[in-house]
A and B are shown apart, each in its own frame.
Chain A
Amino acid sequence: MRNKTFHSLLYFLAFWLFVGLSFILTNINTLDSSMHTKLFEAMPHSGVTHEVTAVLLNFRALDTLLEVGVILLSLIAIHALEPNFRYTPLSFENTITNTFVAILFPLIALYAFYILYSGSYQSGGAFSASALLAGGIIILRLVKPRSFFVPKELILRFLYVSGLFYFVCVGMISLFFGSFLEYRDYIASFYIISIESVLMLSLGAILSAYFINAVQRVKP
């Protein structure tokens, strides 16, 4: 009983906090900073035409590198919890789902590549593409858990770390010519596209491994 009143009091307070916050956030009068002019001055040297991709993979590439590290280390943390998961394997194998997946997965993979390459001129890029790819792999895994090809653990681990490793390697190469992760103009677009492609594959593998490690433990 007392717990219930406490909870309703919490909901009440949270509601008014929400109202107050939204009032403050909608009434912020932005101060003029030189950030936008600086961004547009630097855009021609960034190697891509879309601002978000330029910020993520050129101007503030270090943040992205560290975020890739966060995603990889979460996988290691999930490995720490892995022995505690004991679920029976799920399987939805029948003619309808098999046909559906046979058509669906190639389409998902194709669309992931489209999202990846469209990142240079519109919103998109490695993170959204890898999420799509991971979704495709998870569907495939759910429908056909037994016929699903699983490479050796070491090869899988190479795939998991490849994104962060390639990113750090690009940083080390760029150290010879300037600062860490410094690339400009035509070389920048090559680096950005290659980083995004490697990231898509390795993050796709990691994100699907989150799910597969946590939910499905099948020994064929």
Chain B
Amino acid sequence: MSHPLSTHAPAAAGPRVQTTAVELRSGLQMLLGEHVRLTVVLMRERIAGVDERTQATVVSVDRNADELSAVIGELYGKDAAASFGQLWAAHVRQLQDYAAGLVDRDEAAKQQARSRLQVTEGDIGRLLSSAVQAALTPEQVEDAIRMHVDTLLAQADAYAAKDWTRAYEVGRECFSHMLMTADVLAGPIAASQGLPVTELQAPRRLLQSALSRLLAEHMGLMVEAMRAAADRAPELQAATTTLNANTSELATAMRALYGDIAARRFLQVWAGHVEGLVAYATATAGGDEGARSSSGEALDRFAGEIGAFLSTATDGRLPAAELTAAVTAHDRDLTSLTDAWAAKDFSRAQELSASGYRHMFTLAETLAEAVGDEVAAGLPRGGAQTGGGGTVGES
């Protein structure tokens, strides 16, 4: 097995047999979250008419759908996988139909796509509800998928209206909602497989889940902001604002874990990391070799500082050198995919984007464990002596 901080091996592994409820949740979060980020990109590319990238995006959307079906197959068998695969493909197709309706300003086509999406929502709701033996009602699953569809369509509407701020804000909501949905689904699915589910609520595993969302969202937004910078697109400001909101949430997590001073330090080094990456994309688009090189140096410096920060935060449980290497690998994913865009190698760009995104889930797991151990070492021991009289008399 590869070291938990190594970059690509776990990410490339794709779906695998889920042996614990926590792994199942993490796998669902990864695949459903990826579905959101890819369909958001696909719909926006359709709307913006960026045809040259779209083929690679479609391949990724289909690959993600196949992996989701494979998970359903592992859990519930071939027939369930085939039914799910058909419904999911319809869901993706109908989302694209809606985007096409937006491009053509064809209200009837949009309405038709919306109606079909609603029918598919009901079908997926019934299928998954039956799979988890009604631990979730069809309506509960359908509601979750309806919210997913509504937010996806709302961000597409805003994008088509060039309301970038709203498009990015709603896009963020959509991602966050989908990871929450994965969380809601994980318990009943795990229970339907006879897996113990109490571990899902263990504080370290909740921390892992929260860090997964924040780090995966960071990766997705980073790709979007760098793409906007590379394209010199008018949405760059909205993309970086949304990215800053994610950074701020990560800093809030650091504050909860380590207090104000550490949170401020984290914010400083993380903001440097984000700015360095956007600067790299801008310099690449402008063919400015000097700026490319200086932003690359800045990225290496911030990778070292983030590595040192996290190593100190985990009291050396994770070595600074390995953390720095993990951040550097994350930077390389993003700078290489910018280079791949520039070289019009869009398949390569998609591969880097996917592996970088998946790596965030492994990193979240490793960090949650180390952070949990470090913080736990400083917590009060044992119970509290909060009684002195013996008057309660419970037995």
Bind each other: no
Interface residues of A (CB under 8 A from B): none
